Amino acid sequence: MLELASGKNLLSAPDELTAEVKASLSPKKLRRVQRAIERATLSSGSFVTGDAVWRAATYTEADVERVTASLPEGLRVTLRKLLHPEVEKRYQTAGELGVDLRRWLGELAYSPADAVAELTRTMNDATTVYAREGVEAPLSVRLLNDITTAQ
């Protein structure tokens, strides 16, 4: 959800994996991270996976704040709670998340015309990218583009 909203991935910041950050983990959490990295490396064979596991274990609230800074406040609140480093401060059920998402979406107050305009822009952008890459757009994109153009 964060990556869709911001284009940023919280787990892909290997330059922030300093020895100090790694040393900040408790011995128990350090053992869990090391076991997770071993399992991930065995299954994927990629060292990049280890970096992602380290980032998942060491990102902070400040990291989440930085990545979500440009997003609307209602969405930021939801993402901060979803990505809180402390498990007990995250959503405990999908229902809790649903309530906050519905509240945030209600704040957006999109009119049907706004929704069609945004969809039209998105479809035009997608069609332009496909054309630039010399690839035919998927049928779903072509159909949505036809529908939004007809509006």
Give the span between the Cα atoms of 35 and 55, in whole angstroms. Answer: 15
For residues 5 and 47, give the distance between their C-alpha atoms in angstroms, rounded to a whole number.
27
Return the pLDDT at 49.
74
Tell me what percent of the residues of the chain surpass a pLDDT of 70.
84
Distances (CA, A) of 52 to 14, 27, 33, 64: 8, 19, 11, 15
Q: What is the pLDDT of residues 11-23, one digit of tens each?
A: 776 565 566 766 7
Please classify residue 53 by burial: count the beta carbons closer than 10 Å to its beta carbon, then call 0-12 exposed, 13-18 middle and 19+ buried: buried
- Amino acid letter, 71: L
Mean pLDDT calculated for residue range 34-60? 75
